[in-house]
Every structure is written in C-alpha cells, then in structure tokens.
Amino acid sequence: MMQVKEKSKTVIMDGSKLIVESLVRSGADVFIGYPITPANLLYSYSLERFREFFAAPDEITTLQWMCGFSTTGKIPVTATSFPGYALMLESVNMAYMMELPMVIVLVQRLGPATGSATCGAQGDLSLLHGSISGGFTLPVISVSNMNDCWELSNKAMKMAVDLRTPVVLLTSKEEVMTQASFDISQLSEINLIERKQYSSNETFVPYKTEESLVPEFLKVGNAKHQVRFTASTHDQKGIIQNVAKEAIENTKRLEAKHILNLNKHLYFDYDKENGAETLLISYGITASASREAVKNLRAKGEKVSLLIPKTLLPVAPKYFEIISEYKKVVIAEENLSGQYRKILFGEFGNKNISGVNGFAEMITPAKIVDAVLFK
Amino acid sequence: MEKFLTDEALPFCKGCGHHHIAGNTEKALQSLGMNPMDVILVTDIGCHGIIDKSFKTHTVHGLHGRSVALASGISAALENPDKKVIVFIGDGGTTIGMQHLFNAAHNGFNMTVVIHNNMLYGMTGGQCSEFTPMGFKTPTLPNGADKAGYDICKLIAAVDGVTYVSRLEGIGDFSEQLAEAFSKKGFSLVEVMEICPSYGVKSNPGMKLSNVMEGAGLDVKKYADTEAVNYKSKINQSSNVLFNDDDIIETAFPSKLEKEVRLMLCGSAGEGIQGAAEMLLEAGIVSGLNGTKKGSYPVTVGVGFSASEIILSSDEILYTGSPNPDVICVTSTDGLDYARKTLTSMKGGKLFLDSSLTAPETKAEVISFPFRERGGAKNSSMYCLFYMLTATGLFPMESLMKVFSESKISKKIDAEKMFQSLREPVIANETKKIIS
Ligand SMILES: Cc1ncc(C[n+]2csc(CCOP(=O)(O)OP(=O)(O)O)c2C)c(N)n1
Ligand code: SF4
C-alpha cells in the first residue's frame, strides 16, 4: 500500500504471508493448527513454509502439542479464530503457568458463537483480557497495517521468548486476507530469536528467578538436570503446593514479570498534533480508517492527535500519560460496546470519553470524523 | 541401581492401587537399565497425577484429560527416540480426553500410556466414570452402573498406528509386563485395573478386583503387539520463502488516474469473479497504481454469490472498506442480490450490468451489455472486466492485456474473439432492458 517510489519492489501481498514469513525468519520451529476461517491462509502458508507442520485434530490438542514442543525448547505457533481460541483457553492458562513461550495468531471474525466466519470483527479483546484466571495479564499485540504484520510478528515472538509466556498476535479477517500492492523493498531485516538454555553445572531449579523475574529455561529430556513443569500451583522447584507462601509468591510473579518488563515490549504509534485537544485512539483494522479520518480532519484544518496502541495488554502507563494531555478522547473499534474503551476507562466511563463502534461492518473514516467533531 | 522414586511416602490413601503402579514402574525402568534423565513422566489430574513430585525423572504435570496430548507434543518434538515418554492417566482423564488417546495411537507417537483404572473419579469424591463396570457401585451410583464401561484396550487396539496394548491386574509384581510395554517404540498402552479403597471398596463391600474384571469381561491379556512404526516428525525439506523478487510487478503503462477509484465485481461462484478481480488489481499495479482487493463469498465457496472489492489509487490506500463504489459490475442474479443494497445507496458512478438483469433503483449510470450471452457464464466476469475498462479508461488497456496474456485464462479465452464480440452492437432481442 506504499506509494510507488524508485527502486520499489511491488508485489501482491496479504497479511497472512507477511506474518508466516516473519515468524519463520524469527526462528519459529513448528506450526500446529486446526483449520478455521479466516485463519486458513495462515494455515496453508505455514504448511508451505514451516520446517515442521502438524495438523492437529482440534484446538485443545493444538495447544497441548504446542506446550509439548515448547517444553523441549522449540518455538511453536498456531493461528485460530474465536471458536478455536475458546477451546484453547484452559490450555493457554496451562502454558502461562508453565511459562512456555508460543505465539497464537488470533484472527477475529464475527461472533457470537460460530457467527459469520467470513465477516471481520474486533470482538475478542475482552475475552483475552480475562483469559487468565486470577486477574493476570496475557500479553496481546495487535497489528494495525501490513508492515505491522511483518514487524510485530517478530516482536510478539521476542516477547514470548524473553518473558517465557504465550503471546497473542491479534488480527482480524480483513488484515490477514485482503490482498494489496505492497513494496517489499522497505521490509526490515528480521532478527533470529533464540531460546537460551540454562548452562550451569549447579542444580537446576526450574522456577528460580533473578531480577528479570523470568526463570532460566532448560529443556525437558536433557541428560544433565531434572526439569519439572507443572500447571498446578508450585514452588520454585516445580513441586505442587497448595497455597504455601513460596508457591503463591511464585504465581504472583507471573503478573509481576509482565509489568516489570513491559517497556521493553511496548509498541504504539503516536501521531501528536500540537494544540490538539482531542485524542483519537484506535487499533487493529480500525486503525487504518482512523489514519484516514485524521488525514481528512487535518485537511479541513481540524486539530486532532492519533494514538494507535499495538501492545494492547498489559495496558501501558504511557498510554495514560498521553491521554492525560487531552480534553476529549474518542476510541474507535469494531465491536458492539467498546472493549478496549472499557479496559482503559471502566464500564462507567466519563463524559469526555466516547466510542465509535461498529458491528458486522468496517467502521468508516466518515463515522470517525463525525465522532471527533461531535461537541 | 538407579532410583526413580524419592524416599518419601507416596501421596495416596492407604491401600490405594496407585502405589503398586508407582513401585512397579520404578522396577520396570530399573530392569531396562534406564536412567531417570532418559525418562519424561507426564501426569494427568487426579489422585494418580500428584505422583510427579515423587519421581526423580523429568516430570510434566498438566491438565485433566490432556496429558496424552501434551505427551504427544513432547514425543513429536524430541529428536532422540530413546528418551522414554510415559503418561500416567486415570479412567477419569481417559473419559474426558479420550480423543487424545486415539489420536496419539493413530499417529504412532512414541510413548507408553499407563491408565490407572480404578473405575471411578477418586480425586473428586468417587463419582462414576465411563469405565465404571455394570453393577459396580460408587458414591454417586448407589445401585451400580446400568451399562458396561468401555473396553479401552479393544478400542485402542483397533487403531491403525498402534504398537502395543495390554491389560493387567494391578496387584503384586507386574513390572515385567510394564517393562515390555516401556521397551516398545511407537504408541503403547497398558490398562492397569486397580481399586480405590476410599470409594470403590467402601461402596462395594467385600468386592474382589479379579471378580469385578471377570464379570465385566475385562481380560488380562495383550490386545496388540506389532512392530513399531516409530513416529518421525515430518520435516519440510522444500520450505520456500513465501515471496521474493520473482513476484515483483513492474510498472509498464502508467495510468493518469488522479483520484481513488473503488470498484466492485459481483457475480456467481464459478464464474471467474475472483480471478477477474485479481487481474484487475494486478493490471492496476502494472499501471503504477496502488491497489487492494478483498473477496466476499458465503462459507460454501462453490455456490451462491461471489464478490470482490477493489480499490485503485495513485495515493497510499488506508481504509480498505468500500461502502460507496464508483464502479460496480454485476454479471448474475446472485451478484445482483448481493449488490442490491449498495446499488440503491450509490449517489453516482457506473453500473455495468448483464442485460439479462433488471437494474434496481439506483443513481448510478446503468450500462447494460449481454456479457453472459456473448462470453458464456464462465467468462462473463472477464468479458465484463474488459468492457468496463474500455468504457472507463481507468488505466491503459495495455496493462490489462499484459496481465491477461501472461495468465492461464488466456489459454481458455480467445482475446481476439472477445474484443470482437464486445465491439459488436447489442441487438434488440439480446437486451431485456437498458436504462440510462
Ligand atoms: C477440566 C476439568 N474438569 C474437572 C476437573 C475436576 N477433576 C479433577 S480430578 C478428576 C477426576 C479424576 O479421576 P481419575 O482421572 O480417574 O483419577 P483418580 O483420582 O481416580 O486417580 C476431576 C473430574 C478438572 N480438574 N478439570
Ligand atoms: S481417593 Fe481413592 S484413588 Fe484417590 S488416593 Fe485415595 S484410594 Fe487412591
């Protein structure tokens, strides 16, 4: 979608291709998946591109196999949509508790339930926000254009590996299926991400941590040290405990590590206009409509700033710093009731905060313009 | 001799059958001369599952019913087939996660599954499982089960891919039978029949395990013992990058288009809509334009409507939805039904409509032409595409000709003939109605 410049290399591209290629170049070892529209392009490109590919018989199995691969030091990837993610939920909690890196590409489609498989949506953020039982944060990174499909796939994997956690790369039907002219000459180099292994001779304590609050990893089946993984409440040794203090501290660390390291994995675009009193916030598929709306508003001489959060969860304090500079905030997202708006500001909200919402259709730039201008 | 169990007491009730499986597993592994670091024990949720802390092997303790799937991932990922993956699961875990056992057997994943079948859910209070035998009582079935439980050995032995299946009575020394299963490559399963004193014995006073087994027809024997088709992960040797310089589309015939143009092609599945749309996008790029294309079709791709939205612009394209197309091509009834709402809300623009169809109320300029008649249903979209470009001049025809002649469709459609028939005037009986 870039302007044609000299020496540009224009091809017909889609987001699925960029995500799969980027993940493989980032060092993802294996794709495990169960077909579901609109994630099927990711599935078929992965079959072509991944060194190892497994067709699982359902989404619970998908996540369990991924966990198995992850305990051996490999980096697994899957792609799904709401119905599949719903089945994965308990196993995502398991991966979170065991601290197993993996990337789940979630392609949003219209719900509830089976809904409309071929219609896009942004309806799953509330579910992701509450995915981990107990009030813990599951990291969610959201793409806002084709270039993000490339860059953020790598960043999502880096976050998964560095923090030893499942990470959701959030997309939607239009973002991974729409084809577009795209200049591949401007794609950045993708860095290979490696999983470091514990290398000391001292007894390995599976969930012992230092400052980063992320335990060192050692693969199951190694010849030197006993390794334990468990999804039940456990102490540093990986031994099941009920609510013993050490074990509860270890569980609470799972949230603390994400908060502590958030700034290393914080991605957003902030297009600030001096003198603007209104901030437009948008993410995912609606970010493009918002960019166009801002362009149109500025062409009319209206002042407005635009924040596109990409690390959606954990919510960064930085976002509130930016928000506090404005009198009025408008949040545009394609779901019925404003899921990110509620995550940021609660159910009750505030008269200076309004939402532009849509269901079963993409939000138009015109609708966003109206909301920004509404007094 | 290597110890596989710690010296601490096992975490089970007095007399629980799970004790015997733990002890015999250690003995079996010792008899095979294994090292604890060569063994990965994957345990399910249930009383049997809390054994992991007592084992000196690698241990992985996951969710209720999912241990076999988790072990499948470990087994498929391990590069060393001599590592031994063992799964401890109950009849409860087998009930909730039965598909994983079939699936692991089918794939021949290298592991041994040890089912601790005490015929009820111990951990949650002795409720019945799908393995509770006819007549066997549990605290929730005071009159006894009224159906036979599953014979998991028979069922798993029937799966193509399995190596070894046996059932045994979990009393005394059964380490040799366990060792036989552990020594197999591929998928092996041992069902160990045992009792839960806390619930099973209490609900069935005076019961004898061997009598229960006999009554239920659960024989102690081997159900499968074949050569392993040892699982090897499928490595994709021909992994190719998904895009490269071969895919580059060079600008050949620049377009003078200044504003963004939004187009919609609407027709029926199997009539080339998506192909025509892709060609339009590519031809736009050959003309130096930016473009996007998205398809819409019902979930069953082979029937009903097929539609595509294309945007072409000399500028960067941000928003890719297209509520108000400038140009819309409709070549079939399905397509018209799909486009109806858009057509009635259009404030201008052009509609290229097959002459067999009646235009709905629209402010778009309607241009009718017998695309289906002249090109046949299958080629109607392609005929319409060429006609539309001639009429609108969005970008040079040379671009479309270039893409067309390099595509497979050019083998099926004679371009000369197509142009000829697109130029021929419309005769009266071909056209039902022309509205302008
Ligand atoms: C998804 C889920 N559902 C229910 C439970 C509750 N639960 C824990 S153990 C168990 C049954 C255990 O029975 P079995 O597998 O036969 O093992 P046993 O306790 O008899 O050794 C159940 C239902 C759970 N942990 N997870
Ligand atoms: S409740 Fe039953 S299965 Fe559980 S430990 Fe006690 S005897 Fe064993």
**Residue A277 forms part of a structural domain:** yes
The pLDDT mean for chain A works out to 96
Residue among B73, B240, B290 minimizing CB distance to A69: B73
**Residue A113 forms part of a structural domain:** yes
Question: Using CB atoms and an 8 Å cut-off, which of residues 104-133 of chain A contact chain B?
Answer: 117-118
The answer to whether residues A328 and A180 belong to one domain is no
Cα distance between residue B374 and residue B365, in whole Å: 22
Residue nearest to atom 8 of ligand 1 (CA): B46
CB atoms within 10 A of CB A370: 13
Question: Do residues A83 and A57 lie in contact, with contact meaning Cβ atoms separated by under 8 Å?
Answer: no
Question: Nearest-CA neighbor of A321 among A283, A266, A256, A360?
Answer: A266
Q: Which residues of A touch B63 (CB under 8 A)?
A: 64, 90-91, 94, 231
The answer to whether residues A181 and A281 belong to one domain is no
| Helix axis angle, A285-299 to A365-373, nearest 10° | 60
Residue nearest to atom 2 of ligand 1 (CA): B64
Name the minimum distance, in Å, from the CA of A348 to any CA of chain B: 31
The answer to whether residues A282 and A178 belong to one domain is no
B123 in contact with ligand 1, CB cutoff 6 A: yes
DSSP B5: B
The answer to whether residues A310 and A177 belong to one domain is no
Q: What is the pLDDT of residue B432?
A: 43
Q: With 60 as the cut, is the pLDDT of residue A6 above it? A: no
What is the CATH classification number for the domain harbouring A33? 3.40.50.970
**Residue A233 forms part of a structural domain:** no
Residue of A nearest to B109 (CA): A65
The answer to whether residues A80 and A177 belong to one domain is yes
Amino acid (one-letter) located at A301: G
How far does residue A161's CA lie from ligand 2's centre (Å)?
A: 39
What are the start-end ranges of the E strands in B349-425? 350-354, 365-369
Tokens of B259: 């504003």
**Cis amide bond preceding A112, omega within 30:** yes
Question: Do residues B230 and B108 lie in contact, with contact meaning Cβ atoms separated by under 8 Å?
Answer: yes
Q: With 70 as the cut, is the pLDDT of residue A341 above it? A: yes
Q: H-type helices in B224-291, by residue range? A: 273-286
Residue among A70, A220, A239 minimizing CB distance to B58: A220
CB atoms within 10 A of CB A325: 11
State how far the alpha carbon of B29 is from the alpha carbons of B5, B84, B155, B163, B174, in Å.
11, 10, 27, 19, 12
Tokens of A358: 């849509």
How far does residue B123's CA lie from ligand 2's centre (Å)?
A: 7
Cα distance between residue B346 and residue B361, in whole Å: 10
Domains of chain B: residue spans and CATH:
18-225 (3.40.50.970), 248-426 (3.40.920.10)
B45 in contact with ligand 1, CB cutoff 6 A: yes
Question: Do residues B299 and A117 lie in contact, with contact meaning Cβ atoms separated by under 8 Å?
Answer: yes
For A321, counting Cβ atoms within 10 Å of its Cβ (0-12 exposed, 13-18 middle, 19+ buried), the class is exposed
Question: Nearest-CA neighbor of A140 among A161, A171, A119?
Answer: A171
The answer to whether residues A152 and A281 belong to one domain is no
Q: Ligand 2 pocket by C-beta < 6 Å: which residues?
A: B 12-13, 16, 18, 47, 118, 122-123, 196-199
B128 in contact with ligand 1, CB cutoff 6 A: no
Residue among A71, A180, A226 minimizing CB distance to B291: A180
Domain residue limits at A362: 267-373
The answer to whether residues A163 and A277 belong to one domain is no
Residue of B nearest to A204 (CA): B58
Q: Are strands A140-142 and A311-313 parallel, antiparallel or unpaired?
A: antiparallel
Sequence-distant (6+) residues with CB within 8 A of A319 are: A268, A307, A309, A344
Residue among B69, B245, B281 minimizing CB distance to A60: B69
Cα distance between residue A331 and residue A337, in whole Å: 11
What is the CATH classification number for the domain harbouring A354? 3.40.50.920
Q: Which residues of B touch A227 (CB under 8 A)?
A: 58
The answer to whether residues A167 and A290 belong to one domain is no
The answer to whether residues A156 and A293 belong to one domain is no
Cα distance between residue B175 and residue B181, in whole Å: 10
How far does residue A222's CA lie from ligand 1's centre (Å)?
A: 30
Q: With 50 as the cut, is the pLDDT of residue A171 above it? A: yes
Q: What is the pLDDT of residue A188?
A: 97
Amino acid (one-letter) located at A322: I
The answer to whether residues A181 and A298 belong to one domain is no
The answer to whether residues A36 and A175 belong to one domain is yes
Cα distance between residue B196 and residue A273, in whole Å: 71
What are the start-end ranges of the E strands in A131-207? 140-142, 166-172, 179-183
State how far the alpha carbon of A247 is from the alpha carbons of A155, A241, B30, B61, B384, in Å.
30, 6, 33, 16, 69
- Yes or no, beta carbons of B37 and A226 under 8 Å apart: yes
Q: What is the pLDDT of residue B299?
A: 73
Q: Per the structure, how many domains does chain A have? A: 2
What are the residues facing A271 on neighbouring strands? A306
- Yes or no, beta carbons of A49 and B242 under 8 Å apart: yes
Question: Nearest-CA neighbor of A154 among A18, A51, A306?
Answer: A18
**Residue A314 forms part of a structural domain:** yes
Question: Do residues B191 and B179 lie in contact, with contact meaning Cβ atoms separated by under 8 Å?
Answer: no
Where is the domain boundary, A186, A208, A224?
A: A186
The model's pLDDT over A21-75, given as tens digits with 9 standing for 90+, comes to 999 999 999 999 999 999 999 999 999 999 999 999 999 999 999 999 999 999 9
Grouped pLDDT means (10 residues each) for chain B, 436 residues: 96 97 98 98 98 98 98 93 95 98 96 98 97 97 96 97 97 98 96 97 95 97 87 71 96 94 96 96 98 87 90 96 90 96 95 97 96 95 97 97 95 92 76 39
Cα distance between residue B352 and residue B342, in whole Å: 14
Q: Report the SS3 class of residue B48.
A: helix
Instruction: Please choose from B13, B192, B209 the residue to mutate so as to test ligand 2's pocket, defined by most ligand atoms within 8 A of CB.
Output: B13
Where is the domain boundary, A163, A186, A209?
A: A186
Amino acid (one-letter) located at A68: G
Name the minimum distance, in Å, from the CA of B87 to any CA of chain A: 13
CB atoms within 10 A of CB A134: 11
Question: Do residues A20 and A176 lie in contact, with contact meaning Cβ atoms separated by under 8 Å?
Answer: no
String of DSSP letters for A202-258: SPP-TT---TT-------TT-SSS--EEESSSB-TTS-B-SS-HHHHHHHHHHHHHH
Name the minimum distance, in Å, from the CA of A351 to any CA of chain B: 28
Residue written as token pair 């981990």 = A132
Instruction: Please choose from B13, B45, B191 the residue to mutate so as to test ligand 1's pocket, defined by most ligand atoms within 8 A of CB.
Output: B45
The model's pLDDT over A187-225, given as tens digits with 9 standing for 90+, comes to 999 999 999 999 999 999 999 999 999 999 999 999 999
Q: Which residues of B touch A230 (CB under 8 A)?
A: 52, 59-62
Ligand number with the minimum distance to the CA of B195: 2
Q: H-type helices in B230-370, by residue range? A: 273-286, 333-345
Tokens of A45: 């490109």
What are the residues facing B350 on neighbouring strands? B327, B365
Pick the residue of A4, A64, A118 with the most B CBs within 10 A to test the interface with B by mutation: A64
Question: Do residues B292 and A332 lie in contact, with contact meaning Cβ atoms separated by under 8 Å?
Answer: no
What are the start-end ranges of the E strands in chain A? 10-14, 30-33, 52-55, 76-80, 102-110, 116-120, 140-142, 166-172, 179-183, 228-230, 268-271, 278-282, 305-309, 311-313, 328-333, 353-357
Q: What is the pLDDT of residue B232?
A: 64
Where is the domain boundary, A135, A168, A186?
A: A186
Q: Report the SS3 class of residue A269.
A: strand
The answer to whether residues A28 and A167 belong to one domain is yes
- Yes or no, beta carbons of A1 and B318 under 8 Å apart: yes
Residue of A nearest to B240 (CA): A49
Region for residue B202 given its phi and psi (left: phi exceeds 0; alpha: psi -120 to 50; beta: otherwise): alpha
